Copies of this chain bind each other. A is one copy, B any other.
Amino acid sequence: MSDKPTIGILMGSDSDLSVMEKSFAVIKEFDVPFEVKIISAHRTPEVHSEYSKTAAERGIKVIIAAAGMAAHLPGVTAGQTHLPVIGVPISGKNLDGMDALMSIVQMPPGIPVATVAVDGAKNAGLLAVQILALSDPTLSAKYIQFKKDMAEASMKKNDGLNY
C-alpha cells in the first residue's frame, strides 16, 4: 500500500475534529493512508465540488464526511462522486445530533450515504477499512485479526468482576 491517500476525510468545520480523531486513530491502526480536509459544502461550495469530482482520479476510494446540524456535506459529496461516501452525524449543543442524523441518513433514492451512529467516528473509519479490504488481502487479514483482538479484549473485562 502506497502513501497516496485512499480515504478522504471531510469535515464541515474544525469543531468536528475532536470527534473525528477516532476515525484518524483507527485508520492509522490499519496503516491505511488518508487525508483530512475541512471543506464546507455551504461556505466553500466550489472547493467542495472540485474535491468531490476529482477524488476518484486522485486515488481516493472511500470518502468519510462528517457534519453537524443540517449536515449536508455527506449527501452533496455523494451527489458529485461515484465513490462510496460514509456519513458521520456530529452532535451539537441541542438536539443530540438527531438533526445531523436525519440530514445524513434520510438521503433520497439515487444518492446513498453509508451512515454510522451519531458521533460514530471510529465506526466510520472501520467501515472504510472494511471496504478497502475487499480488494486487499493483507488489509482483510488485519481486519479479521482486529475483530479477534476486540473479542479477546471484551472477554478480558470479565477478569476483574467480583460480585
Closest to A114 in B: B114
Q: Are A43 and B109 in contact (CB under 8 A)?
A: no
Q: Are B70 and A102 in contact (CB under 8 A)?
A: yes
In the complex, which residues 76-105 of chain A have their Cβ closer than 8 Å to any Cβ of chain B?
76, 78-80, 82-84, 86, 91, 93-105
Q: Are A123 and B111 in contact (CB under 8 A)?
A: yes
Residues of B within 8 A of A80 (CB): 45
Asked whether any CB of chain B lies closer than 8 Å to the CB of A42, the reply is yes
In the complex, which residues 115-163 of chain A have their Cβ closer than 8 Å to any Cβ of chain B?
115-120, 122-124, 126-127, 130-135, 140, 143-144, 147, 150-151, 154-155, 157-158, 161, 163
Known: A42-B76, A134-B84. A36 touches B123 (CB 8 A): no
Closest Cβ of chain B to A109, distance in Å, is 4
- Number of this chain's copies in the complex: 8
Closest to A126 in B: B112
Residues of B within 8 A of A118 (CB): 94-95, 106
A contacts with B, residue count (CB < 8 A): 86
Residues of B within 8 A of A123 (CB): 107, 109-113
Q: Are B96 and A94 in contact (CB under 8 A)?
A: yes
Closest Cβ of chain B to A70, distance in Å, is 4
Give per-residue flags for A32-54: 1 if the beta carbon is below 8 A from chain B beta carbons, else 0. Answer: 00111111111111010100000
